[in-house]
Structures are given as structure tokens and as C-alpha cells.
Amino acid sequence: MLEAVDVGRQSVEVFEPVVGEDVISGLRELAAPLQGVRVLHLNATSYGGGVAEMLRSEVPLLRDLGLEADWKIITGGKDFFSVTKTIHNALQGAPRTLAGHEKEIYLAYSTRNARLLEEGEYDLVVIHDPQPLAIPQFHSRSGARWLWRCHIDTSEPNPDVWNFLTPYLDDYDAAVFTLRSFVPPDFPVGRVEIIPPGIDPESPKNFELKRETAGRILRWIGVETDRPLVTQVSRFDPWKDQPGVIEAYRLLKEEVPKLQLALVGSMALDDPEGWEVYRQIKGAARQDPDIHIFTNLTGAGNIEVNAFQRLSDVVIQKSIREGFGLVVSETLWKGTPVVAGEAGGIPLQMQDGRGGYLVHSVEECAGKVLRLLRHPEEGKALASGGRELVRRRFLITRLLSDELSLYASLLGRQAVGTSRGELDPVCGAGVGERSPAWRYRGERYRFCSRTCQQMFRDDPERFVRSLHGGRRAAGQSTEP
């Protein structure tokens, strides 16, 4: 049997003061046709990274809503997770491909994990990311529906690695991506849904923490809270560009001599590359006592991250490629401004200039951070707008609503009148007649924000290819 992850108990009612009674009632209504439905979430690790954090919150909430939800993790040795990290990077566009023996390792563990997965126990199985992707092909369907949830940017995957994985998607009933532009060309799964992640405002990383308590926590681990502080919270991963953050910090240090930098990263069972990146960063920062480096294994758990995000003057998220970047929403929820790379799902969380600044270089990053350090009231105003956007769009209650609707539809149990209606072709949000619109090749598309409209206009074919089969010829009309 695969290892089950223990989770606590939680009630959706705890979110009512934040989201309102109508949202909670809506969740109960969506869950009503799903009472007793058996759902399994399957991924590679129970700690480190956004997927594990979301599942730790989501699974107990699904149970509270009446579903029989479980969370299990696959097995794998160092050789397997080394291969799956290569696959992960390749799906984000890295040039490294898989050798023959690496493909054999991946399929051997996929076969083993399929045998360990109990047959006939679930109505719906949700597979997260590429590590367990191939399992359905080696497992009896037993009447279950299979859903692949891809959390990374696979818009331009390495062709060799993608061609290797594509046949193993044939057994899925549906797939979910964070952005429609992330759907690879000629994607073989017929049903594709767009559902961005969401944060849990009641989790230890996000619940209210008094500034006095947060200060005591940071001072305990060696950070001076009476000096300026900028922080990046992310996995130690080449795509997060911690070296670029250090370069920006050194430019800032010339203008703000007392500045401190905290690099707070998480290590995960399925990411052996993380320790190598960690060692490189430690080497780059060795001569500077004002650069603080922490991991979830060396003194920075959820409470410490909470404190860093609350007390930092600015939080940086200088990603080069990004699936979503939950730390942006986490930070804005705490009223702290963000300077972030314009990558993946980050612009969704900073729509129309709310929350902070999007940047494209080390120099631009340093310049925007300096501006916020010198004009803290501007930062507070930006962060306040970002918090409201997060409250409306990127809390776990919205994620649950979208996923319950999908589950009910896949299982043929959707209640009358619970359709999501017309959706933004970029991010999957609901839109109305007054939403911004743009016509492309004879069809009108509506958007939840000017940001999504501009993302679509910049490269419409990346979004419409999964809506219309991915083979439409280039060309556009610019009728508003």
C-alpha cells in the first residue's frame, strides 16, 4: 500500500469572517451531490513546496464537506527522484533529455506504485505533476475517473521528454492547468480545465501573527528586526534565481548599507537538486553576514515564513519560470509589497498594478525594491490592493469551489444551476457582460481583468490552441 498522509481536521465555517456566509453556503451546495464520493490525491511528497501545502489544507476541508478524501504519496529512491527532477525541468523548457536507462527507471517505479495503489477503492483519482503521471497506464481503472493536475509551466516543453510522456496521458479523463497558456501543443487529453491554486488564510503560514510575536521569532533565529529587510521565500531551484536576488541585494546595499537579505527555502523529498542549489547559494553568500539563508530543515518552518513575510519591508520573488508562485499571494495577504519576475501565474496575483511591481532584470529588481524602501507608504497602498485581490480570487475557498464543480461534472453528479458560466480564457475566472472583451479570429473573448486581456493579446494562439484543438492558423482581428 502507498503511504497515507495524516492531516488534521478543519471546517469551512472558519473562513466565513473572511469570505462571507454566501461563499460558505455555496461550497455546501456544490458538495451536496458529492456526499460519500471517494477521492484520492496522489503526489510525490508530503512536505516542501506548494502542492503539499495545498493538499494539507484541502483534504481535511473536502472531508468536512462530506467527501471521503485521502492523500497518499508514491514511493521512489534517489534514482527515481533524480529522473523526475530532470523531467520537471524539461517540461519547463530545459534542454536536458532522458537517457534510455532513465526512462526505464521512471517506468519501473511507475509500475511499482501502480501495484501499490489499491484497486477499486476510489471514485476519482487526482494525480499531481509528472512524478506519478504514468501510473494509470499500469493500473486497473475499476470505474474510477482519473484527473491529471499539472502545477508547472509546460507551455514550451522539451520535445523529447514531452513525446516520452504523452502516451501515458491517454488514460486520463481530464487535466487541470494553472493558466491556459501552460497547456502544451497538441495536448492529448480531451477535457482541459483552468484552475489556479489558492492559499489557506488559516494555515500556520498565513494565520494572523502579531508583529511583536513575529519580531521575537525572527530575532530568535538571528535576524535584526530594527534594520531594513528584504526576503525571498521559495524552493532552492535554478528557476527561482536566488543568485539574481543576491546580485540585486548587492546593488541595493550600496544605497542602503544596513540592508539584510533573507533567502528562505524549502527542501522536499522529490527534489534532490535543491541541496546542490543550496550549497551554491551558501558559497555565494559566505563573506556577507547580512545574508541569512534558512531552510525548512534548518530552522524556518511555516511560522518563521509567516514572520518573514509580515516583517520584511519588501518580499522578492524573482522567478524565471513559474507555475503559480503561491508565496506572492501569501505575502500580499499579510500586507507586504512584492517585487517579482513576470513569469507564469505571478502576474495573475498582481493584476492591473496591484501588490507591487513586475520586473525582468536584476537591475530593474533592485530599482523597484529601492523605490519601495524609500517610499513605504506607496508599498502599503500597493499591498492593500493586492490583499483584496487575493481575498476575492486566490483563497482556498475559491479553489475548492472550482474543484468541486469539476469533480461533480466528471462523476455526473453536478447539481442544477451550479455551472461556472462563461470563463476567462487565460485564468479560468468567471466573467460577465461588463468584463473587458477582445475579438480574435471572429470570436469574442471576455476577461476578468486588463492584465488577462493583455496576456491574451500578447500571444493569443498560446491560449486558444487548447480551446480549439491547437492547430489553428496564426492571424488576428483587433476589434474591441
Q: Give the pLDDT confidence of 71-112 residue by residue, as tens digits.
A: 999 999 999 999 999 999 999 999 999 999 999 999 999 999
Q: Which of these ranges, 197-211, 316-330, 462-476, has the smallest mean pLDDT?
A: 462-476
Q: Are residues 217 and 175 in the same domain?
A: no
Neighbours of 185 (CB within 10 A): 15
Q: What was the pLDDT predicted at 471?
A: 33
Q: Are residues 363 and 478 in the same domain?
A: no
Asked if the structure places residue 416 within a domain, the reply is no
Which residues make Cβ contacts (< 8 Å) with residue 234, sequence separation at least 6? Answer: 240, 242, 264, 265, 266, 317, 319, 325, 327
Neighbours of 305 (CB within 10 A): 22
pLDDT band at 417 (very low <50, low <70, confident <90, very high): low
Q: Are residues 40 and 131 in the same domain?
A: yes
CA 21, distance to chain mean position in Å, is: 27
Report the pLDDT averaged over residues 44-56. 89
pTM: predicted TM-score of the whole model, two decimal places: 0.91
**Alpha-helix residue ranges (DSSP H) falling in 396-459:** 396-410, 450-458
Asked if the structure places residue 105 within a domain, the reply is yes
Residue 128 pLDDT greater than 80, yes or no: yes
Report the pLDDT averaged over residues 401-405. 96
Asked if the structure places residue 142 within a domain, the reply is yes
Asked if the structure places residue 90 within a domain, the reply is yes
Asked if the structure places residue 415 within a domain, the reply is no
Q: Are residues 30 and 73 in the same domain?
A: yes
Report the pLDDT averaged over residues 56-70. 98
d(CA 169, CA 133): 7
d(CA 388, CA 22): 17
Domain that residue 442 falls in: 421-480
The count of structural domains within the chain is: 3
Which residues make Cβ contacts (< 8 Å) with residue 431, sequence separation at least 6? Answer: 421, 422, 423, 424, 446, 447, 448
Report the share of the chain in percent with pLDDT over 70: 95
Residue 473 pLDDT greater than 50, yes or no: no
Residue 480 pLDDT greater than 60, yes or no: no
Q: Are residues 242 and 151 in the same domain?
A: no
Closest of 184, 133, 130 to residue 155, by C-alpha: 184
Residue 478 pLDDT greater than 60, yes or no: no
Q: Are residues 389 and 399 in the same domain?
A: no
pLDDT band at 419 (very low <50, low <70, confident <90, very high): low
**CATH number, position 86:** 3.40.50.2000
Q: Are residues 193 and 82 in the same domain?
A: yes
Q: Are residues 184 and 99 in the same domain?
A: yes
Report the pLDDT averaged over residues 411-424. 77
Q: Are residues 193 and 217 in the same domain?
A: no
Residue 249 pLDDT greater than 80, yes or no: yes
d(CA 237, CA 186): 29
Asked if the structure places residue 204 within a domain, the reply is no
If you average pLDDT over every residue of the chain, what do you get? 92
Grid coordinates belonging to 157: 516543453
Q: What was the pLDDT predicted at 416?
A: 59
d(CA 142, CA 122): 9
**Quick one: DSSP state of residue 267?**
-
Residue 472 pLDDT greater than 60, yes or no: no
Asked if the structure places residue 351 within a domain, the reply is yes
Half-sphere exposure of 376 (CA within 13 A, CB side): 8
d(CA 480, CA 478): 6
Q: What was the pLDDT predicted at 465?
A: 81
Half-sphere exposure of 348 (CA within 13 A, CB side): 30
Per the CB < 8 A criterion, the answer to whether 477 and 440 are in contact is yes
Q: Are residues 136 and 284 in the same domain?
A: no
Closest of 426, 447, 376 to residue 196, by C-alpha: 426
Q: Are residues 425 and 382 in the same domain?
A: no
Q: Are residues 433 and 315 in the same domain?
A: no
Asked if the structure places residue 205 within a domain, the reply is no
Report the pLDDT averaged over residues 338-359. 94
DSSP 333-396: HTT--EEEES-TTHHHHTGGG-SEEEESSHHHHHHHHHHHHH-HHHHHHHHHHHHHHHHHHSBH
